[in-house]
Structure 1
Amino acid sequence: MNNQKVRKVVLAYSGGLDTSVILKWLQDKYNCEVVTFTADLGQDDDLALIREKASALGIKDKNIYTEDLTEEFVQDFVFPMFRANALYEGYYLLGTAIARPLIAKRQIEIAKLVGADAVAHGATGKGNDQVRFEFGYYSLNPKIKVISPWREWDLTSRNKLIEYAKVHNISVPQDKTGEPPYSIDSNLLHNSFEGKVLEDPGIESDYSMLQRITLPEQAQDNPEYVEITFAKGDPVSVDGTKLSPANLLRKLNEIGGRHGIGLVDIVENRYIGIKSRGVYETPGGTILFHAHRAIESITLEKAASHLKDEIMPKYAALIYNGYWWTHEREMLQALIDKSQESVNGIVRAKLYKGSVTIVSRKSDNSIYSQTLASFDDENYNQSDAEGFIRINSLRFRV
């Protein structure tokens, strides 16, 4: 982007250190008008304070956009993903990855609204988010100019970034130890943490950075039961109380958090080829994942269930790698959504010190037959299984 003239740019702005430095840098480097966009995805940021920060850096009020997108985020992005039981590399519930398509979508919409010819983000040149944002931008507006400061500037370390901030009177946050904080991404689905001691996968973290959950060993000694009602694969109520998508996830976060549900400490493979360690806390999402699989277990036919399991890794990788706005993801989504037409019912889960145990599942659409499953069933001729086995084992015996 260095050689391209930019008139107006829409910056994905969190109000934190990185994007505040980027805001100032864009003004100095490109001498362009900057529009800030802050998406409230349930991360509990003070949007009024973020507006003040942008204003203090010279952004006009008309160019400061802060929007509550929590309901859209959960309804149109999180829930469709959970219909697929999506897990990346066996552990990661894709909390950061699923937020990027929505932010990119709204950035492009605002760029069109204000007549901007460019968009910018604060993702580093080592991470996945640069790919996710930019794939989203180009999918929705192939002609948009994209500025990625971390790939352009000479602020190549955290220390240089902090020095730049101090020179330009940009506040530098500190954690409880007086050091720069972990790299944190938060939304209603999860919190993620990277950096500092986590950069060494051989060192155990003390998990002092956790914000959403109690450590399992410190959680209450009494288990708690929660009932989730599903309609066409989506959760619609908790303990009999119907809730909006965002409020339902908030409720499950609250319940799961006090029982230490949803803590993972993993090393994952980034799309660009780097391995990275992250700590994630996803209490409500973890409960939903187990509950959804449980209701599917009695409402989905075997072949359909196994087909979903086969395509899930592909679907999860598409989201992780930034391909939400693609035909292949939409095609898989159509298949997944078709499978959910009869995924209705109630799941009861027991929560205790970090574990989610499904204790019951009921559905008017259940295809589970207690009669067939019973050892006392006299209508099933067990000798019929001999022919089944002989035919299917023929290739072993030839």
Structure 2
Amino acid sequence: MADVKKVVLAYSGGLDTSIILKWLQVTYGAEVVTFTADLGQGEELGPARRKAEMLGIKQIYIEDLREEFVRDFVFPMFRMNALYEGVYLLGTSIARPLIAKRLVEIAHETGADAIAHGATGKGNDQVRFELTAYALDPNIKVIAPWREWEFKSRTDLIDFAEKNQIPVPRDKVGEAPFSVDANLLHSSSEGKVLEDPAKEPPPYVFMRTIAPEEAPDTPTYVTVGFEKGDAVSVDGVRLSPAELLTKLNELGRDNGIGRIDLVENRFVGMKSRGIYETPGGTILLAAHRAIESLTLDREAAHLKDSLMPRYAELVYYGFWFAPEREMLQALVDRSQEHVEGEVRLKLYKGNVIVVGRESPKSLYSDALVTFEDDRGAYDQKDAAGFIRLNALRLRTLSARKRRFS
């Protein structure tokens, strides 16, 4: 990449990406453009701008992408009820395609030759960033410093920072206790004190939720309204996508909801242990499944559930902009046409309990399911023929088994 003259860097303002910024300047002699996305990570972004300016950056992009993140990435994923390996709500995975998309767009806007990211060579994020970039621009150049530079340890990084007048926070001198990624959907913590999956995580790891045992003794009730599969209101108040997820996060935080301790299979082949907190997402998933239980046809619901693991894998692996994910999304979105109504939930000490659901497009029929007089809505005698027909092949198999056993 000797011809790289200008690079757009995904920049958090932290120590690692500041080192990367300087390393790009030194190694490539390139002009660096920084891009910092506000995805609701809960951090002030002013310091990122000031640090970029201190390092001589002229073009600094700091963008509030919270609404786009929830509207165009989180909500479509939640229409599928996506869970990777049955547990993980994909909070980090779903943020990466948006960041990478803006990196490519900014590269086009500024005439940059390449984009750069701070993902390591062991993780999933390098794959997610780069698959997205190549899907959107097949000719884009991608620089991944962790796969290129000569640094072998945290000490090497800090030595480089000190030699280049990059401020090193006190808690970053030596080994960090664990690595954190956060956005409006979740926070994830990995590494160091969490690397032994046999040991319970220390309490200070959790930053988005109170401990369930410390949650109030009185339950909190909340009603979530849906239209076309997307949540649109909380307790009757219509909210924008980002506002709604923020509200659910607050309710989940205060009731100790959304903690998981997961050993997952990374795309690159290794297992890793992570601590995830997804308070609002956990509430949203329970509410969405509840409203679907009223409004989705049985076979449509079962088909959707059978496709969910494949969809979740595509998101986790970084194939958000791949045709197969888009095909599945079209199917899912079609299924959500009549998914509307309200779900009432009880939040209590880490639990999300569905206590009521209603919809003007409900397929639930009192007349069909009642144990009382159904006034002819269902003839129970019809079930005998239904069972005989479904048992025909089983009876045939059983007869052959008897003949030859």
Range class of TM-score, shorter chain: over 0.9
Equivalences for residues 224-303 of structure 1 within 5 A: 224-303=220-299
Secondary structure of 2:205 counterpart:
coil
Return the alpha-carbon distance in structure 2 between the equivalents of residues 358 and 176 of structure 1: 43
TM-score, normalised relative to structure 2: 0.95
Return the alpha-carbon distance in structure 2 between the equivalents of residues 374 and 58 of structure 1: 73
Return the alpha-carbon distance in structure 2 between the equivalents of residues 271 and 338 of structure 1: 29
Greater Cα shift, 181-190 or 171-180: 171-180
Return the alpha-carbon distance in structure 1 between the equivalents of residues 136 and 352 of structure 2: 39
Return the alpha-carbon distance in structure 1 between the equivalents of residues 281 and 171 of structure 2: 27
Q: Map Cα deviations across residues 80-104 of structure 1 (whole Å, 9 max, x no partner).
A: 0000000000110000000011101
Match in the other structure for 1:45: 43
Match in the other structure for 2:380: 382
2:260–2:275 CA contact under 8 A, matched in 1: yes
Return the alpha-carbon distance in structure 1 between the equivalents of residues 371 and 109 of structure 2: 66
Secondary structure of 2:221 counterpart:
strand
The letter for the 2-side match of 1:284 is G
1:172–1:180 CA contact under 8 A, matched in 2: no
Match in the other structure for 1:19: 17
Secondary structure of 1:393 counterpart:
helix
Match in the other structure for 1:183: 179
Deviation at 1:5, TM superposition (A): 2.2
Deviation at 1:175, TM superposition (A): 5.0
Match in the other structure for 2:27: 29
Secondary structure of 1:105 counterpart:
helix
Which of 138, 144, 147 does residue 142 from structure 1 map onto?
138
Match in the other structure for 1:352: 348
Deviation at 1:352, TM superposition (A): 0.4
Return the alpha-carbon distance in structure 2 between the equivalents of residues 200 and 348 of structure 1: 39
Identity of paired residues, percent? 65
Return the alpha-carbon distance in structure 2 between the equivalents of residues 178 and 137 of structure 1: 33
1:101 aligns with 2:97: yes
Match in the other structure for 2:403: none
5+ residue gaps, structure 2, are 397-405
Q: Map Cα deviations across residues 360-387 of structure 1 (whole Å, 9 max, x no partner).
A: 0000000101121111144222232222
Deviation at 1:45, TM superposition (A): 1.9
Return the alpha-carbon distance in structure 2 between the equivalents of residues 175 and 260 of structure 1: 28
1:391 aligns with 2:389: yes
1:197 aligns with 2:193: yes
Deviation at 1:159, TM superposition (A): 3.2
Secondary structure of 1:170 counterpart:
coil
Match in the other structure for 1:308: 304
Secondary structure of 2:142 counterpart:
strand
2:212–2:255 CA contact under 8 A, matched in 1: yes
Secondary structure of 1:89 counterpart:
coil
Secondary structure of 2:329 counterpart:
helix
Secondary structure of 1:39 counterpart:
strand
Return the alpha-carbon distance in structure 2 between the equivalents of residues 371 and 100 of structure 1: 48
Deviation at 1:179, TM superposition (A): 5.5
Deviation at 1:394, TM superposition (A): 1.7
RMSD of equivalent CA atoms: 1.5
Match in the other structure for 2:54: 56
Aligned length: 394
Deviation at 1:181, TM superposition (A): 4.3
2:232–2:241 CA contact under 8 A, matched in 1: yes
Return the alpha-carbon distance in structure 2 between the equivalents of residues 164 and 386 of structure 1: 79
Return the alpha-carbon distance in structure 1 between the equivalents of residues 198 and 167 of structure 2: 33
Match in the other structure for 1:127: 123
5+ residue gaps, structure 1, are none
Q: Map Cα deviations across residues 251-288 of structure 1 (whole Å, 9 max, x no partner).
A: 00001101010000100000010100000000000000
Q: Map Cα deviations across residues 291-312 of structure 1 (whole Å, 9 max, x no partner).
A: 0000000000001000110111
Change (3 A) 1:389 1:18: same
Return the alpha-carbon distance in structure 2 between the equivalents of residues 83 and 377 of structure 1: 37
Return the alpha-carbon distance in structure 2 between the equivalents of residues 151 and 140 of structure 1: 22
1:75 aligns with 2:71: yes
* Structure with the greater alpha carbon radius of gyration: 2
Return the alpha-carbon distance in structure 2 between the equivalents of residues 175 and 282 of structure 1: 26
The letter for the 2-side match of 1:36 is T
Secondary structure of 2:122 counterpart:
coil
TM-score, normalised relative to structure 1: 0.96
